[in-house]
Amino acid sequence: MLQRQNILRTLLFVVFFSIGTAALAGSILRDDLLRYYRNKQLLRSAEESLSRLESLIADYDALLKQLEENPNLLERIAPATLGTEPADANTVYPKVTAEQLDAARKVLAEDLEQQPSRAEMPDWIARCSEPSKRIILFLAGALLILISFICFGPAKQSPREQ
């Protein structure tokens, strides 16, 4: 019976102490957690920008390679790129208006905005950032640690048991 009581006492001590320590640490380390998640988010956005730049570089390298292999390609894409009139009267070139380009840019921008950001700050950190809730969290953690030591600490032996 005494063995079970000690196991239950130890288990309750560990639970109360762990929860209290986590609450206390969360309230104290809030600034570090905020900085960590902001840095993580900045790192993700930098990695995404880097991957977009690498993709553009690969596209331009492929275009330069095609231009080196086929010099006539430059004559075909120059009028469309520079906006000049084509030299060949028998060739049809598509005319793109500024409105169509703006619409295409908007669609591409919306696609980039809709990509989920995987490193968003958790809601519980945002809630714990409020000063009143941070103080309450600190006091609740300290109280749980005190309760665990007072109520579930080692049992005092009576003089008869010693």
List own/partner pairs for 56-64 with CB under 8 A and 24 or more apart.
Answer: none
pTM of the model: 0.56
Instruction: Supply the pLDDT for residue 14.
Output: 93
Instruction: Supply the pLDDT for residue 155.
Output: 65
CB 137 within 8 A of CB 20: no
Instruction: Supply the pLDDT for residue 130.
Output: 86
| Helix (H), strand (E), coil (C) string for the chain | CHHHHHHHHHHHHHHHHHHHHHHHHHHHCHHHHHHHHHHHHHHHHHHHHHHHHHHHHHHHHHHHHHHHHCCHHHHHHHHHHHCCCCCCCCCCCCCCCHHHHHHHHHHHHHHHHHCCCCCCCCHHHHHHCCHHHHHHHHHHHHHHHHHHHHHHCCCCCCCCCC
Distance (Å) of CA 134 to CA 21, 31, 39, 49, 122: 14, 11, 22, 35, 16
Instruction: Supply the pLDDT for residue 36.
Output: 92
Show the low-confidence residues of the chain (pLDDT under 70). 79-80, 83, 85-89, 91-94, 112-119, 155-162
